[in-house]
Structure 1
Amino acid sequence: LHNMRPQAGADMDSANPYTPLVVAATYGLADCIKYLLEAGANPNIPDEQCGTTPIEIVADSGRRELVDILFPYTKPVQCVPSWSVDGIITHVKSKHLKDKDKVGQDKKAELKSLGAKAVEEKDYAGASKFYSEAIKVDPEDATLYSNRSLCHLRIGEAHDALVDANACIRLQPDWPKGYWRKGAAFTQGSQGSMRHVHGCDEAGSCQSGDP
């Protein structure tokens, strides 16, 4: 980029596939950005692949000093509500978070679907793993804890089922299913305790009986 000279008639906006200014913005090359702007490069030509302008690219990388350099040369971008250095940075950060959230939601939906399919196939241990992965993506989704609580119940893990039921109730106290799961966990846990006591009584009777 430094070897380009406007006197030689170099096209500062040639894209192959990216313009020199897009490349300089992507790599955060402050001196190159300044040189290209002074040589007449157009900062309003977007990245052909992503559709973002150089000023949006540097804002996304957190380089405020580069946003300051590009700002006087760049026309307002329609999707940016507040056209200022701070406004551009805020907009790009917000967009980045929305994109990240969408990816997370898509992943959660896929994991929930896999969990539901595993439940249909009565693979409750497998379903529990899928719901656990989905909870890592969105730990505030009460339905995931409810679904995993059911899986714990089906494989006899009453305590874990109760823990998930309580989490479900905490997140969505007005949803009846959380309480239903909790009741089922208590019932299963009580039955397990009774079987344990009954087994001990039988063992004791055998030990104290005649040989």
Structure 2
Amino acid sequence: MPRTVRYLTHPQVRIEPEKTVPNWSLNEIGAGRVVALASRPGLLALTRRVVCSNETKAIETAQPIANALGVDLEMRPRMHENDRSATGFLPPEEFENTADAFFANPSQSVRGWETAQDAQRRIVEEVETCLSSPGVGDVLFVGHGGIGTLLFCALSGFAIDRRFDQGPGGGGCWFEFEIEKRKPLGGWQPMEVLSRIPSP
């Protein structure tokens, strides 16, 4: 049976302007969605590795799932979201406009942000490094929407474009690919789909 790799983004977060964005936590809705998935892993039942960014919201998403599956959580600092520390917190409308420019100008640093090309290169290298070691079972990566979109574009052979984003709704979406082929088997889906029981 082909091994499946899934990339899951953290769900809804608590907006805390007084904190640096990597230290934001999940809000009640996001945490509740994680608890629901951890209580019924469904499609993740064959997962033997859970790997996540070291940002708080990613850890809070990945740890309950790893616990439910009985596996250790692996943290990879270079799986962090695109580096936006130059601006820090931005109000929603300003953030969306800046994110649009980030995707539309992948070779340029927008307002001091890490470029989309550099961020894409980083996440692809991290995923490839993780998958280069032999193992059994499926693999779950837990990360972020922006960097996840860049990974999806790279694996799909698409130019960087925000239209391949996970879409509105606060996160908590995933896509999958077979470990041998490194090509997405479909687009983004809500994390609740992962709870379903695999067909025999």
Both proteins in one fold, TM over 0.5: no
Question: Which structure's CA Rg is the greater one?
Answer: 1
Say which structure is richer in helix.
1
Say which structure is richer in strand.
2
**Which fold has the larger relative contact order, with Cα–Cα distance below 8 Å and residues 6 or more apart in sequence?**
2
TM, length-normalised to structure 1: 0.21
